[in-house]
Amino acid sequence: MQMYVNYYDRKVKLESENPTIGIILCRTKDDALVEMTLPKNNEQIFASKYLTVLPSKDELKKLIEIKEDE
């Protein structure tokens, strides 16, 4: 995933945009997986939808498990 994030930052992202982060959310019948990648040497993370903090892996995993149960 880091390769895709780096490619996006080099070839697609505008100079005025913040560094890209990668998040994979995956679920199966009996498991949920959350993986994240951040830019090298990042000091801050900016999220859309007015979030001030990026959810933890455990919080994201709980969210996709809840969606599975609905």
pLDDT at 11: 93
The reported pTM is: 0.52
Q: Which residue is it, tokens 């951040």?
A: 38
Residues 6 or more apart whose CB falls under 8 angstroms from that of 54 comprise 21, 36, 45, 47
pLDDT tens, residue order, the chain (70 aa)? 888 888 998 999 999 988 888 888 888 778 888 888 877 776 666 655 545 677 888 988 888 887 666 5
